[in-house]
Amino acid sequence: MKNKNVKVADWGLLSYQRAWQRQEEYFSHIIASKRENRKLEHPFPTDNHLFFVTHPPVFTIGKSGKMEHLLLNEKELENKGISFYKTNRGGDITFHGPGQIVGYPLLDLDNFFTDIHRYLRSLEEVIIKTLADFGIDGARSDEETGVWLDLNTASARKICAMGVRASRWVTMHGFAFNVNTDLSYFDYIIPCGIQGKGVTSLANELKEQMNEQEVKDKLLKHFKEVFQAEIIN
């Protein structure tokens, strides 16, 4: 039985470590449910979740990331009040911090479609549709997961980074959408390991402080459309 209900919760401001622990708990629970279902004649629906969160300043690096893309040493990180974590998601190094909307979808893709490439493109589509609501044209890069502005130009800049983990078609980690983000933090890394391209935010593009709840509402609307899901608040 396919369950397309997605339970949504906002964790507010939460440390990266605690949010990661929470994700692992939900992730393990969904996988355990799937294992249990294999023994049952009438399987029960598995859960899907989408968590919004804002992290205090933190750099995270994925399994394929290179440490030389972090341009600060341990002492400099401490002096600037920035945490650092090696994670089990895909992708290279990125920044999370205040003014950024981080979305963690923990989905059983057996409820939707079993295709990780399509899953990433779908997450990108949610961001692209949200940007369009604000009159901004977002784009995909064939080589680099995430959402870009003015791709294939000298002013190409990334507005949303993505990195996920999946096991038994269950997903965790997700996207980091720069809304009111202090972009100066990106000067301390080579974002996503990509040199020669910039980083931007919604506020930077529109030259005004954004209402983050309004942005979340639009993200949810498009998440529902793209994944053909039912949102449960």
Alpha-carbon distance of 77 to 98, in angstroms, equals: 17
Token reading at 204: 């930077």
Q: Where are the alpha helices (DSSP H) in the chain?
A: 16-37, 74-80, 116-133, 202-206, 212-227
CB atoms within 10 A of CB 129: 17
Which strands make up the sheet holding 83-86, listed edge to edge?
A: 83-86, 58-61, 93-96
Residues serving a catalytic function are 192
State how far the Cα of 177 lies from the Cα of 196, in Å rounded to an integer.
20
Which residue, 222, 121, 134, is CA-closest to 162? 121
Residue 201: which residues within 8 A CB-CB, separation 6 or more?
A: 99, 100, 159, 178, 179, 180, 181, 183
Judge residue 182's burial from the number of C-beta atoms within 10 Å of its C-beta, 0-12 exposed, 13-18 middle, 19 or more buried: middle
User: What's the CA gap between 57 and 84, in Å, rounded?
Assistant: 9
